[in-house]
């Protein structure tokens, strides 16, 4: 799991969920899988209750059009029978649709219950044939660059208008997460979907074991995290047991250490985000490589933590041993486990008896390292790349949208669904992700993770400039943390891997990096 949430390349964080949660698809489903991971029964406690009858009416056009609105809701598909890896007993979205139908006679909402082997290809083929779903799930980055232009309606003007179902807000956008709206905009500033949930990662912990070790509250700083692990050890409790995923943990540190250089690193190709080209150029210039002390400077700091771990999985491939490590935690054998927002569902599926808590990756201080910039990088691994990302098909991609009044009806349905109360209901019932709109609350087990959605999407990592770089870095990382390699030798190995990656990138792409 060495992929980075990037703005210009296909966001692949949720591919990690596929590996770690057995059954969740890329991007959550960029390649046709499901963003829900191992969905359990946790999270059926959305505070909003049943969706209330709409306050106010929708667009005037809805009165003139009647028919069926087809919607592919991805991991939130209600009562799904054909989509593996998601909860088959979800009903909130269906209940909301039923209430909408009751308030709008003649309109029916049909949810597509189908699994796609290659979802991106499905979207392209259906759009080319004019048969795309009226409302469809799509990653914001795909809409901004990967998919053909013109398949999704520009929703920007609607964001700036009142939503009749949110009477206390002047505009629809006022109810949304400002950071996410800004960060997911296309390069021209337009918005092609509404985004309501967030992939979060955090340290999950066994509150019962913490109590046994005399730890009264979750760690809030790096020093407190190290101290808590030592207290757990002293009490005869295994603090942590998992493979140190280089692809994930490097983002927390590098995003902090290099925060002032983000615009430089991401700016070589003059496009948003850190691309493989940006990475290759930064390596070749000695910025993202061992010539810069920040690049390896976090390894000894992180080793402070892993020195308190059970060593079984330190040199293992996270994709291979991840499930075993998670099972150790769910069985109550270890006190802390770093994972994604799908873990509470895993815990519910496993029938855990202990009280589950979570806390964000701590913000580092100058006492921890002089290399910190003080940036809160707790959200560097996650992002708004989950399942509540819905777009409206254009008439070119969906011939039925040419029917007079249908576009207005579909937009009205999206407005009805796109309210804080309903976002919270749908997201929390699934329990895999975190609702991020201001007036929403996540499930109790993930309440501390909600703040991650307010962080800028400026994560930095290394591993995408060649096919083998991530694997090489993971291998050296594990050997160093386990004590089988000195920092000096590890640094030499890392530099060798970086040099090979740059050489491969230049050859494969016939690119002269010196021009940047």
**In this structure, are 353 and 226 located in the same domain?**
yes
In a domain, 29, yes or no: no
Of the candidates 451, 472, 497, which is a domain's last residue? 451
Of the candidates 427, 451, 475, which is a domain's last residue? 451
Segment 62-81 mean pLDDT: 91
Task: State residue 306's pLDDT score.
Answer: 97
Cβ atoms 213, 335 nearer than 8 A: yes
**In this structure, are 223 and 361 located in the same domain?**
yes
- Prediction pTM value: 0.73
In a domain, 186, yes or no: yes
Instruction: For residue 135, list its beta bridge partners.
Output: 71, 392
Q: What's the CA dihedral at 303, 456, 142, 198 to 10 degrees?
A: 70
Residue 131 phi, psi (nearest 5): -125, 20
**In this structure, are 372 and 504 located in the same domain?**
yes
Task: State residue 330's pLDDT score.
Answer: 97
**In this structure, are 346 and 468 located in the same domain?**
yes
**In this structure, are 294 and 342 located in the same domain?**
yes
Least confident residue range of 56-60, 147-151, 462-466: 56-60
Of the candidates 451, 484, 507, which is a domain's last residue? 451
In a domain, 493, yes or no: yes
Residue 156 phi, psi (nearest 5): -55, -45
In a domain, 417, yes or no: yes
Containing 202, the helix (H) or strand (E) segment is strand 201-206
334-340: strand order across its sheet: 238-240, 334-340, 201-206, 356-359
Tell me the Cα Rg of the chain.
Answer: 23
Q: Where are the beta strands (DSSP E) in 398-495?
A: 434-435
With CA atoms as reference, report the closest residue to 314 among 507, 178, 475. 475
**In this structure, are 437 and 334 located in the same domain?**
no
Task: State residue 276's pLDDT score.
Answer: 85
In a domain, 128, yes or no: yes
In a domain, 361, yes or no: yes
**In this structure, are 160 and 234 located in the same domain?**
no
**In this structure, are 352 and 398 located in the same domain?**
no
**In this structure, are 323 and 345 located in the same domain?**
yes
Cβ atoms 252, 377 nearer than 8 A: yes
What's the number of domains the chain is made of?
Answer: 2
Please write the tens of the pLDDT for every residue from 214-227.
999 999 999 999 99
Residue with the larger pLDDT of the pair 57 and 489: 489
SS3 70: strand
In a domain, 457, yes or no: no
**In this structure, are 211 and 278 located in the same domain?**
yes
**In this structure, are 177 and 295 located in the same domain?**
no
Structural domain containing residue 366: 201-381+463-515
135-137: strand order across its sheet: 107-111, 67-71, 135-137, 389-392, 194-195
In a domain, 484, yes or no: yes
Give the CATH number, domain containing residue 504: 3.40.190.10
- Reported residue count of the chain is 516
Residue with the larger pLDDT of the pair 432 and 158: 158
Containing 335, the helix (H) or strand (E) segment is strand 334-340
**In this structure, are 333 and 368 located in the same domain?**
yes
């Amino acid at each position: 799991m060495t992929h980075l949430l990037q703005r210009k390349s296909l966001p692949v964080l949720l591919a990690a969920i596929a590996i770690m949660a057995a059954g969740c698809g890329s991007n959550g489903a960029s390649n046709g899988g499901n963003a829900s991971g191992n969905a359990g029964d946790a999270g059926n406690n959305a505070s909003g209750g049943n969706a209330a009858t709409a306050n106010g009416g929708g667009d005037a056009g809805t009165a003139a059009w009647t028919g069926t609105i087809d919607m592919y809701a991805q991991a939130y598909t209600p009562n799904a029978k054909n989509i593996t890896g998601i909860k088959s007993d979800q009903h909130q979205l269906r209940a909301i649709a039923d209430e909408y139908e009751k308030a709008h006679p003649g309109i029916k909402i049909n949810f597509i219950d189908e699994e796609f082997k290659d979802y991106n290809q499905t979207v392209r083929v259906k759009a080319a044939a004019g048969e795309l779903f009226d409302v469809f799930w799509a990653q914001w980055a795909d809409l901004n660059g990967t998919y053909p232009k013109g398949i999704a309606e520009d929703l920007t003007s609607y964001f700036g208008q009142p939503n009749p179902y949110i009477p206390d807000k002047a505009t629809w956008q006022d109810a949304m997460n400002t950071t996410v709206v800004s960060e997911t905009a296309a390069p021209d500033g337009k918005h092609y979907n509404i985004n309501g949930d967030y992939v979060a990662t955090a340290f999950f912990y066994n509150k019962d074991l913490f109590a046994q070790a005399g730890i009264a509250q979750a760690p809030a700083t790096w020093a407190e995290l190290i101290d808590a692990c030592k207290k757990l050890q002293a009490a005869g409790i295994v603090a942590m047991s998992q493979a140190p995923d280089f692809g994930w943990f490097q983002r927390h540190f590098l995003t902090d250490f290099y925060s002032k250089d983000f615009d430089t690193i991401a700016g070589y190709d003059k496009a948003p985000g850190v691309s493989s080209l940006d990475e290759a150029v930064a390596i070749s210039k000695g910025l993202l490589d061992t010539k810069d002390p920040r690049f390896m400077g976090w390894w000894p700091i992180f080793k402070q933590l892993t020195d308190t771990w059970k060593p079984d999985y330190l040199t293992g491939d996270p994709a291979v041993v991840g499930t075993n490590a998670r099972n150790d935690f769910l069985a109550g054998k270890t006190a802390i486990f770093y994972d994604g927002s799908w873990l509470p569902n895993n815990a519910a599926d496993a029938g855990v008896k202990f009280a589950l808590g979570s806390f964000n990756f701590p913000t580092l201080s100058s006492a921890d390292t002089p290399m910190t910039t003080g940036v809160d990088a707790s959200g560097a691994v996650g992002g708004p790349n989950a399942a509540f990302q819905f777009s409206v098909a254009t008439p070119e991609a969906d011939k039925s949208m040419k029917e007079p009044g249908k576009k207005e009806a579909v937009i009205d349905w999206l407005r009805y669904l796109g309210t804080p109360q309903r976002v919270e209901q749908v997201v929390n019932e699934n329990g895999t992700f975190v609702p991020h709109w201001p007036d929403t609350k996540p499930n109790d087990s993930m309440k501390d993770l909600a703040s991650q959605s307010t962080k800028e999407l400026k994560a930095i990592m290394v591993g995408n400039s060649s096919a083998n770089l991530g694997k090489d870095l993971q291998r050296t990382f594990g050997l160093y943390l386990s004590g089988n390699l000195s920092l000096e030798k590890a640094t030499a190995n890392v530099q060798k891997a970086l040099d090979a990656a740059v050489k491969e990138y230049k050859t494969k792409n016939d690119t002269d990096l010196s021009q940047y």
